[in-house]
Structure 1
Amino acid sequence: MAAVAVGVLVAAGVVTATTDAVSAAATTTITVDYGSDRGAATQIASGFLHGISASSPAQYLVDGVKVRSQRGADYHPNLPSLYDPATYRRVSATGANLRVGLYYYSANPNSPYRNYRPGDNGNFSTWTTIVNGVMSEAEQKGYRVNAWIPWNEPEAQWGNLYTTTYFQAHKVAYDAVKARNSSYRVEAPELSAYNFTKLQQFLTYCRDNRCLPDVLSWHELNPTPTDVPGHTAQIRSWMQANGITPMPIAITEYQGSSYGNADAWAAGPNVRWLAQFERSVPNGLEDALASDWDYIGSDGNFIATLGNSADKATGTLPKGVWWNYNTYKTMTGRMVDVTSSSATTVDALGSLDTGQRRGVLLIGNQTSGDQGVSLRLNNASALASSDVVHVRAERVANTPTLSTPTVVLDADVALSLGGVTLALGTLPGSAVYKVLVTPATASAPVTRYEAESLSTAASPGQTGRVFTEAGASGGAATALDGTAAGQYLQFTLPVSTSGVYHLRALLKSNINRAFQALYVDGVMVGPPQDEYGNAAYYAADYGTLSLSAGNHTLRAVAVGRNPGSSGYSMVYDRFDLVRVG
């Protein structure tokens, strides 16, 4: 039989706390209220500046996050050019909102206007020609552009001409865009930092000259977050008091202080950035895009790294911060209230999806020192089975590359009056806890699929071979003796009953194993897995997903390898579907 009903893959007793004692002197309490509703979960801060090109980063790194928005150039000698068909297709396939700068002609060596600046000698007609040319090419190619950006960081680039020549250049561009298609959106002013006075000046001019942008934008570039909710609330309130209907807001670059500084990809502080953006949604925030500090734009070695979240050298391995965005992708359903007893020390954000039967949480250490973390779950009965929930917590290190977070808790936990307090332990400097809360698994019905009994396929033309080897408990396992990234091992999984399932697999570690991602019916699910290690078996957890009755395709793709691995092989012993809904 390919599938049999069995007990859960990872046996776990019901516990009330972790065994990892909090050793740090100070402890921050994170409180999650699953009875609250902070609005739809849309991954609003999962945007990227110059994040994807035709060739980088590796596809699984793109598939493993929600690419909500990308801002970029039409043409540039080093940066990803969104008007390059291959780049456009790859970015567009993510469903991202595309934001195109109209000003990149100044960096394009093939542009006849390269040395022109709007307003030179009183000439704005050339600027109109440039703007129309960029839009014309997009229309001819059938490109979908969400917003047009006249200029970048104008108060820094135009200096004392900000309130004169730049304002005129904005109006000329605005008029050209709207004359072409009134539904096209203009995004401005793209200030280099939040500046209340300069935004007031810009908006007053635009109100009086009928060129208010469709999206108001600026950057928030600091090692740690400033008061983004305060900024968005302040400018929204001012607009309401000054005869301007508030428009959506976009923060089109965030996190980091300068090129090459690690604060741009610090994982712990990144959590507070994400949390601050989610708290700014009631103030009109529409999108937030991570900065791009790995390479300066004039560097001919530039590669796209999804906002500094892939390794700079190859773009094939995730940095610690990538795991934040991978977890953020699973924050579906509704956002919930998450509070911290010391948010500038440890901050967090979380979601609840009752349909997918999961609560997802990110907790980030904002400091460079160890911090103790206590987690309080309130009103968690919506996720419980007989007053018990399952909690899986993993620690994400703030490292240049990270293939495996550390599991600190994976157990059923009893609730008391719908809640429970857990001591998660010590969180190192700039590190993160990712937490998944689902219904209890110890007594849940489980269907087990022995890998060798499933219909199996592999990537065509591969030089590796598919075979069976000894599995756990005397059974067999299905293996791919892979030789290169991109090869895959595929299974057909028959599901008898539609429902929500917690998907787990038993994998075998070794020194020649691949770093791999699992795709279910063509969609990457859960985190990637690193099989590199000793010869022991280990349980891979892919989280919850809805599966209809019928056959489903599971494809395990070798996406890379741990720096210590000598090969790309994969070994699957079995799959478990734990029925949770």
Structure 2
Amino acid sequence: MNKRTTSLTLAGLMATTVLIPTTSAQAAGNTLVVDAAGSLRPVTHVAAGTLYGLADANTPSASQLVPLKLNQLTQPPPGVQQLGNGATTPVGDALKVAPSVIASGAQQYIRMPDIYPDFPYKWVSWDDWLGKVDTMVKARLNASTTTNVNGWEIWNEPDGTWDTAKAGPFNDGWTRTHRKIRSLDTVTPIIGPGTTIYNRDFLKSFLTQAKADGTLPDVIVWHELSQGWQNIDEHVADYRALERELGITPRPISINEYAWPDQVDVPSAALHYIAQFERTGVNDAERAYWYEAGTANGLFYNGQPTASYHMYKWYGDMAGRMLPVTASGDLDGIASLDSTRKIVNVVFGGDYGNDAVKVTGLSGFGTSVSVTLTASGITGRQTATSAPSAISRQTVTVGVDGSITVPVDNMDARAAYQLLITPAAGATSSWQQTYEAENATVVNAQRLGGGSASNGYYVGRIDGSGDVRKDSFVDFIVNVPTAGKYSMAVGYANGGSSTATQGLAYNGGPWSTISYPATGSWGSFSASATSSASLDLKAGYNVIRLAKGSPGFSGGTGFAEVDSITLAKV
């Protein structure tokens, strides 16, 4: 979807864009409830993603993107010809932006039909299309140092852009294209079908034939645009029921376009989508591409952050585990608990007037807590703004039931707000020192649950090496206060009989090897099972990679699972 398709979409859909309240009489006196003792899922920044968010390797710069902890991007293919949203030259080639994608800790899907210059796409012939597929896939295969490409998106919005008269039925076209890709690339996941909306009938027909043809997508994709955020939970539940009905193994769900033009750059509206994606358990979600490429879809203006950027930055600051949040009327949000530092981070909004946030499960924080309230502002996509300042700081007594209630007066329904809650004396450390592996960028490995793992999760099956499409590694984005020497302790498990090794590199520097002596079992962690290394880090953000395989590294030996890393200034 891009801006030029609005009329096409409205012609084919009944638009049900949800409007934000406009007067205090519509919504006030609501209380958002956060359960700090609960657990929704590990922090993975599910909805920190963009479509055409990067124009080239420097726009936006990786240094601007790193604080957002980007999860998943969708970019056009090598050789892109698409001129989206007024562009005079094609932008966003996935292989050209790859260095910035990798440096910012993200992964990317490649949207193949954007090899065509027009949208809606103008079909030429099957020989033309399959020739283009051949060229695109071979270009990626020849990019021998490019990691973090984790999906081929065969088509975009086939319910509105597939030319059945010239190309035949889409389901047949999917199978034909899938087989062509797999004849060249048996490794990279294939994603689809990428419908404009959640359409059960379309998906049922598509999945039925794809199952029969042996061409099921590895990741299921649809868009959440004109239907608003309220129906996302119903769509996900219905899709899971459809999988069961058809006897299909559950697929990761990608919503690789979300939010209508009047929502995507309103902080609270984008937040409503994020809240739904977090609680429904989708794999990833990307901001829709309505405006200029290279702005992360409105998070930057003239290279500087907008108000929406700051909301996503608060989201990027989340660590540990996501918490259950109960909405109240139009008031909704997301929250996390960094149990190591004892920080509850609540981001909320969507209501006018005087409301409140109640946080339960704070007994372990002591008898009183420090609460800082900040507002994002509402600048829109064409006004840059400096980082917001806190509007209040207070010490609040924790009730005997372990809860606090914080009034938030004079709310603007368009803005997002952040509550940071720590023990009264502050967080347990002035900067984050422990980073959970499951919160990091996990490439060709798996997040797994384990009772002995810190925070209840770890990363295992870090097994792939020798091919950039299946190299296994974990990228940690860390933020240190000063430049200098740091020691790094890696919590790990090695259930093998001998010492395992992985590669260690940071900030694109040279490789060294880190060793993991056998611990006796898999998925079992203890404080004594650590391996140490010395790092020379720059002040601010750094990217640390632990790899079984990676470009420039010949490959590790044996196998090891990673629980967390802990940094200390030397």
TM-score for both structures, normalised by structure 1: 0.65
Secondary structure in 1 matching 2:324: strand
Partner of 2:552: none
1:223 CA displacement? 8.1
Letter in 2 for 1:305: T
1:291 equivalent among 282, 288, 292: 288
Q: CA deviation at 1:420?
A: 1.2
Equivalent residue runs for 1:455-470 within 5 Å: none
1:94 equivalent to 2:77? Answer no
| Correspondent of 2:259 among 255, 269, 277 | 255
Cα gap change, 1:493/1:413 in structure 2, threshold over 3 Å: closer, same or farther? farther
Q: Which residue identity is paired with 1:105? A: I
Paired letter, 1:319 = T
Residues 339-364 of structure 1: CA deviation (Å, up to 9, x unaligned):
1221xx11111111102321111111
What does residue range 100-119 of structure 1 map to in structure 2 within 5 Å? 100-107=110-117, 117=124
Aligned partners of 1:178, 1:31: CA distance in 2, in Å? Answer: 48
- CA gap of 1:353–1:185, structure 2 versus 1, over 3 A, is same
Q: Secondary structure of 1:275's partner?
A: helix
CA offsets 1:212-268 (integer angstroms, 9 cap, x no match): 111110111138413111101101111111222221110010011xxxx44321111
Paired residue for 1:381? 363
AA in 2 matched with 1:103: P
1:266 maps to: 266
Aligned to 1:139: 141
Q: Is the 8 A contact 2:137 2:185 kept in 1?
A: no
Contact 2:123-2:167 within 8 A present in 1 as well: no
1:293 aligned counterpart, secondary structure: coil
Q: Give the aligned residue type for 1:361.
A: V
Aligned residue in 2 for 1:308: 298
Question: 1:355: which partner in 2?
Answer: 340
Residues 163 and 201 in structure 1, CA contact (< 8 A), matched pair in contact too: no
1:416 to 2:399 alignment: yes
Is 2:260 the counterpart of 1:277? no
In the alignment, residue 333 of structure 1 is paired with which amino acid?
Answer: G
TM-score after normalising by structure 2? 0.67
Equivalent runs, 1:206-225 vs 2, <5 Å:
206-222=210-226, 224-225=228-229
3-state SS, counterpart of residue 130 of structure 2? helix
Residue 291 of structure 1 and its aligned partner are, at CA, apart by 0.7
Per the alignment, residue 463 of structure 2 pairs with none
Q: 1:178 to 1:410 in 2, by over 3 A?
A: same
- Decide whether aligned partners of structure 1 residues 163 and 230 sit closer, same or farther in structure 2, where only a CA change above 3 A counts: farther
Asked if structure 2 preserves the Cα contact closer than 8 Å seen for 1:393 and 1:436, the reply is: yes
Change in Cα spacing, 1:275 to 1:521, as seen in structure 2 (3 Å) is same
- How far apart are the structure 2 equivalents of 1:416 and 1:24? 31
Pick one of 328, 346, 349 that aligns with 1:341: 328
Matched residue SS, 1:27 = coil
2:72 aligned to 65, 69, 73, which one?
A: 69
Tell me, which stretches of 5 or more residues in structure 2 are unaligned? 1-23, 84-88, 432-480, 490-536, 544-564
Please state how far the C-alpha of 1:127 moved relative to its aligned partner: 3.0
Equivalent pair of 2:484/2:569 in contact (CA under 8 Å):
no
What letter is aligned with 1:279? R
Question: Who is 2:248 aligned against?
Answer: 244
CA distance in 1, matches of 2:391, 2:398: 19
Amino acid of the structure 2 residue aligned with 1:48 = T
1:548 aligns with 2:549: no
Q: 1:438 — aligned with what? A: 422
**Please, which runs of 5 or more residues in structure 1 have no aligned partner?**
1-21, 109-113, 296-302, 448-489, 499-518, 526-544, 551-581
Cα deviation code 1:263-307 (max 9, x no counterpart): 3211111111000000110xxx21101112124xxxxxxx41112
The separation in 2 between residues aligned to 1:399 and 1:223, in whole angstroms, is 25
Residue 376 of structure 2 is matched in structure 1 by 396
Counterpart position of 1:450: none
Q: CA deviation at 1:405?
A: 2.2
In 2, Cα distance between equivalents of 1:347 and 1:94: 28
Separation of aligned partners in 1, 2:45 and 2:130: 35
Do structure 1's residue 429 and structure 2's residue 413 form an aligned pair?
yes
**C-alpha distance in 2, partners of 1:163/1:237?**
31
The one-letter amino acid of 2:332's match is D
The 4+ residue runs of structure 1 with deviation greater than 4 A are: 22-25, 159-164, 442-447, 490-496
Relative to structure 2, which stretch is displaced further, 396-405 or 67-76?
A: 396-405
Contact 1:394–1:408 (CA under 8 A) maintained in structure 2: yes
* Partner amino acid, structure 1, of 2:155: W
Tell me what 1:318 maps to: 305
Q: Name the residue aligned to 1:407.
A: 390
1:82 match: 93
Give a deviation string over 1:65-84, Cα, whole Å, max 9, x none.
Answer: 01111111122364533355
Distance 1:92 1:443 in 2: 31
1:174 aligned partner: 178
What is the RMSD of the two structures over their aligned residues, measured on CA atoms? 3.2
SS of equivalent to 1:398: coil
Aligned-pair CA distance for 1:116: 5.0
Q: CA deviation at 1:23?
A: 11
- In structure 2, the CA distance between the partners of 1:358 and 1:493, relative to structure 1 (3 Å rule), is farther
Sort the Cα spacing of 1:152 and 1:548 in 2 relative to 1 into closer, same or farther, 3 A.
same
- Classify 1:360/1:318 alpha carbon distance in 2 versus 1 (closer, same or farther; 3 Å): same
Letter in 2 for 1:394: T
* Residue 18 (structure 1) aligns with: none
| Conserved? CA contact 1:23–1:372, under 8 Å | no
CA separation in 2, counterparts of 1:115 and 1:231?
30
The percentage of aligned residue pairs carrying the same residue is 24
Structure 1: distance between partners of 2:427 and 2:287: 42
Q: Could you tell me how far 1:493 is from its partner in structure 2? A: 8.0
| Residue 37 of structure 1, CA deviation | 0.9
Conserved? CA contact 2:53–2:295, under 8 Å: yes
Q: Deviation at 1:374? A: 0.6
Name the larger-Rg structure: 1
Among 531, 536, 539, which residue is 1:521 paired with? 539
Q: Cα 1:408–1:493, aligned 2, differ >3 Å: closer, same or farther?
A: farther
Structure 1 distance, partners of 2:195, 2:27, is 41
SS at the partner of 1:220? coil
2:478 counterpart residue number:
none
Distance 1:134 1:249 in 2: 24
Does the residue aligned with 1:274 lie in a helix, a strand or coil?
helix
Q: Deviations over 1:98-127 (max 9, x none)?
A: 10122222129xxxxx9753xx3xxx3443
